[in-house]
């Protein structure tokens, strides 16, 4: 058994792959295995992987027809043999001491997993953006040096980054949870993360930057293409996880944000010629929620004003242009009043 299994899905990453694998080869901890799953790359990625594997027996390469990063990660998980698990993307970079430091902390403290900080580098503009979601300073301030669970965070759980590359997991713990990445969808790491978080009892926040995410227009979350519509089924899958763990009612406001605000975030970033398709998918999804009047009467008044506005405006509008116009209007503050909101809701669905 090796100390750390590193898994890496690979798809058309020839421009970054040598640096990414080099980051693992240069680790101060040398007892690791790197499991790479080529997801049907059309460039030279598979050849690069095979070349590395031929020179280092710790590197194992698997190939599949293109099924997406979630499926590639799930395949990689079946081949892991380590004490701990680390997930890395094929176009990013990791500090050379990251695995050793995380391994020492995790073993000393007997942790389910570690959360650490990450930088964001914009390849297209050659700038670093220290995003709040990757810093997670508010969580670090909350927990300090203590070992914690999601119950200690309250609504701060929604300030955690869902990305797997700023976590270091006990592999037995991961396998006990049965957590899997969503397949055939981008944003697939969200499903793995919430399953992991709601099972974790011994979590530690390591306040150190150990990883750099290379953000570029070729990445799945930077392309602005039709895959952004996956945000809608992913939001439903997140709700399903919270219902399954009996935690939905405890996190209504945050789950409203994940359903409405986050879906709007990707709507704003999708290519203009896809906005109508995205809007209609939003509308269909929200109309299903609105059909359950009892649920809406209890749930919607408890979410934020912004979430309410997104929900109501989607239901009111018939197309994305009307929706944009409604969202651009200044909503009167009195609509924060739940009683007034209920009247507006009933007026739409009387």
| Domains of the chain (ranges, CATH numbers) | 4-215 (3.90.550.10), 226-349 (no CATH)
As beta bridge partners, residue 84 has 4, 170
As beta bridge partners, residue 21 has none
Work out the burial of residue 180: count CB atoms within 10 Å of its CB; fewer than 13 is exposed, 13-18 middle, 19 or more buried. middle
Measured distance CA(258)–CA(253) in Å, rounded:
9
Q: Which pLDDT belongs to residue 131?
A: 86
Return per-residue pLDDT of the chain as tens, 350 residues: 999 999 999 999 999 999 999 999 999 999 999 999 999 999 999 999 999 999 999 999 999 999 999 999 999 999 999 999 999 999 999 999 999 999 999 999 999 999 999 999 888 888 888 788 999 999 999 999 999 999 999 999 999 999 999 999 999 999 999 999 999 999 999 999 999 999 999 999 999 999 999 986 665 556 789 999 999 999 999 999 999 999 999 999 999 999 999 999 999 999 999 999 999 999 999 999 999 999 999 999 999 999 999 999 999 999 999 999 999 984 444 444 444 444 544 444 44
Q: Which pLDDT belongs to residue 341?
A: 47
Q: Which pLDDT belongs to residue 95?
A: 97
Indicate if the alpha-carbon torsion angle 119, 121, 122, 127 is positive or negative. positive
Q: Which pLDDT belongs to residue 216?
A: 65
Q: Which pLDDT belongs to residue 62?
A: 98
Reduced to 3 states (helix: H, G, I; strand: E, B; else coil), residue 61 is strand
In Å, how far are 2, 62, 306, 317, 327 from 339, measured between CA atoms?
Answer: 59, 57, 16, 22, 21
Q: Which pLDDT belongs to residue 126?
A: 83
Q: Determine contact, residues 84/168, Cβ cutoff 8 Å.
A: yes
Question: Whats the size of the chain, residue-wise?
Answer: 350
Helix (H) or strand (E) holding 70: helix 69-78
Measured distance CA(66)–CA(55) in Å, rounded:
26
Structure token digits, residue 319: 């197309």
CA atoms within 13 A on the CB side of 171: 20
Structure token digits, residue 177: 């949870």
Which string of b and e fits 39-55 if b means at least 16 CB within 10 Å? Answer: bbbeeebbebbeebbee
Structure token digits, residue 275: 């906005």
């Amino acid at each position: 058994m090796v100390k750390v299994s590193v898994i890496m899905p690979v798809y058309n990453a020839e421009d970054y792959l040598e640096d990414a694998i080099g980051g693992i080869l240069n680790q101060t901890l040398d007892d690791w295995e790197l499991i790479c799953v080529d997801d049907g790359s059309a460039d030279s990625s598979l050849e690069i992987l095979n070349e590395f594997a031929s020179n280092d027996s710790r590197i194992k390469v698997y190939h599949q027809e293109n099924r997406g990063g979630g499926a590639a990660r799930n395949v990689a998980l079946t081949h892991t043999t380590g004490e701990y698990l680390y997930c890395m993307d094929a176009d990013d970079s990791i500090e050379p001491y990251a695995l050793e430091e995380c391994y020492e902390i995790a073993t000393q403290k007997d942790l389910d997993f570690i959360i650490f900080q990450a930088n964001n580098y914009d390849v297209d503009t050659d700038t670093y953006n220290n995003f709040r979601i990757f810093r997670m300073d508010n969580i670090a301030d909350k927990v300090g040096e203590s070992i914690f669970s999601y119950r200690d965070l309250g609504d701060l759980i929604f300030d955690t980054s869902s990305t797997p590359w700023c976590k270091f997991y006990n592999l037995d713990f991961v396998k006990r949870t049965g957590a899997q990445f969503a397949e055939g969808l981008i944003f697939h790491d969200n499903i793995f993360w919430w399953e992991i978080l709601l099972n974790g009892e011994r979590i530690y926040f390591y306040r150190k930057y150990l990883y750099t995410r290379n953000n570029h227009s070729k990445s799945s979350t930077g392309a602005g293409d039709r895959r952004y519509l996956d945000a809608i089924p992913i939001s439903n899958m997140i709700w399903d996880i919270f219902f399954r763990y009996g935690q939905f009612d405890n996190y209504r406001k945050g789950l409203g944000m994940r359903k409405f605000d986050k879906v709007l975030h990707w709507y704003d970033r999708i290519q203009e010629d896809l906005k109508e398709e995205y809007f209609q998918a939003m509308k269909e999804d929200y109309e299903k929620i609105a059909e359950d009047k009892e649920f809406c009467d209890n749930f919607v008044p408890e979410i934020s004003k912004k979430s309410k506005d997104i929900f109501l405006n989607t239901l009111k509008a018939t197309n994305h242009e009307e929706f944009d116009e409604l969202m651009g209007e200044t909503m009167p503050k009195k609509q924060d009043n739940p009683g007034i909101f209920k009247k507006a809701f009933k007026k739409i669905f009387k």
